[in-house]
Each structure stands twice: as C-alpha cells, then as structure tokens.
Structure 1
Amino acid sequence: MKVLKAVFARIWCLWGLVLFVLTMLVMMPFALIISFLPEPVRTHRFIQAARIWMQLYLPLIGCPVRINGKHF
C-alpha cells in the first residue's frame, strides 16, 4: 500500500505542476495587461483574475475550495 501511495502521490504532484504551468501561461497575458492599469484599479482587477484562476485550477487538481459567506 505504501508503494501505491508513493506512486500516486508523484503522479498527482506532476499533474498539479503541469496544470499550474499551463494555467499560468494562459493567465500571464492578462496579468501583464493588468499591470499597466493605475493602482487602485490594478489591484482590484488582479484579485478578480486570481479568483478566476483559483476557481479553475484548484478543482482541476482535485482540491476544490468552498467558502461560506462573504467575509473577505
């Protein structure tokens, strides 16, 4: 069982790394465009883009995050 866990963990890690790189390559042009905006707007837009990225990336790697309420 330990061997199976070790193999699965490495495969899952590689899957997460590949998806991270691919999704970051997709988000990079948006981040560069956002960086040219003036400061209050830039921060707000970057937070929006980061939330969209997290809503895509985390479920794809098998770690969905659910937040109850709007405390942030």
Structure 2
Amino acid sequence: MEPIYKQFKTTIRRLGNSKGAIIPKIIAEDWGLEEGQEVVFAIVRTSGYKSAKLKDGAQKQSNNGPV
C-alpha cells in the first residue's frame, strides 16, 4: 500500500511514541469522502485501523489492512 503521506495530502505529526498519526485534513477515497472534504481529525494506526470525525459530526471508520 502507498505510504500515508501519499494517501493524504497533508503533513503528518507523530505523537510521542504512539503508533497513530493525527491528520488534520484528509483527502482519501478509502474513507468514502468527497475530495477536499474537511475533517476535524483522523487517526491512522499501523494496524490499518482508521478513524475520522467529520466537521458535521459524522464519524467514519475503516479497517482495510496495514497502511
């Protein structure tokens, strides 16, 4: 699978020793989001589990394998 930085057109900040990355804005087909849709935050873990909360309060989750 492509590296995270190619899937998401934004900067990724690692938080300490956590295995997740916080992504303020994402553009990803994997989420079923419209291109350019703004996301409050998203977490991508090495296990492949992904979770995002949209600005309108909706939440999206995906588990499509390792990222």
Give the TM-score of the pair, scaled to structure 2: 0.22
Q: Higher helix share goes to which structure?
A: 1
Give the TM-score of the pair, scaled to structure 1: 0.21
Q: Higher strand share goes to which structure?
A: 2
Question: Higher Cα Rg: structure 1 or 2?
Answer: 1
